[in-house]
Amino acid sequence: MPTILPERATPRTKDQYAMTEKLRLLIQSWPLPVIVVGVVGGLYTGTVTATEAGAFGAFIAVIAAVVQGSFSWSAMREAVAETVQSTASIFLIAIGAVLFSRMLTLSQIPMSIGEWVGDYAVALWIFLIIVTVFYIILGMFLDPIGLMLVTLPVLAPFVIAFDINVIWFGVLVVKFIEIGLLTPPIGLNLFVVSAGVGDSVPFGKIVRGTIWFLAAEALVLALLMFFPQISLFLPSLMY
Mean pLDDT of 211-227: 90
What is the per-residue pLDDT for 51?
A: 81
Element (H, E) at 229: helix 229-236
Per-residue pLDDT tens digits for 100-113 = 767 767 777 666 76
What is the per-residue pLDDT for 219?
A: 92
The domain limits of the chain are 26-71, 88-236
Does residue 49 register a pLDDT over 80? yes
Rounded Cα gap, residues 107 and 85, in angstroms: 34
Burial 189-220, CB ≥16 within 10 A → b, else e: bbbbbbbeeeeeeeeeebbeebeeeeeebeee
Mean pLDDT of 156-164: 81
Rounded Cα gap, residues 31 and 60, in angstroms: 8
User: What pTM was estimated for this model as a whole?
Assistant: 0.58
Element (H, E) at 191: helix 188-197
Average pLDDT score over the chain: 79
Rounded Cα gap, residues 65 and 30, in angstroms: 11
Q: Return the sign of the alpha-carbon dihedral for residues 184, 189, 195, 199.
A: negative
Does residue 91 register a pLDDT over 70? yes
Rounded Cα gap, residues 45 and 177, in angstroms: 25
Mean pLDDT of 136-158: 78
Residue type, 159: V
- Please say whether the beta carbons of 113 and 157 come within 8 A: no
Weakest mean pLDDT among 6-15, 85-94, 156-165, 228-237: 6-15
What is the per-residue pLDDT for 236?
A: 79
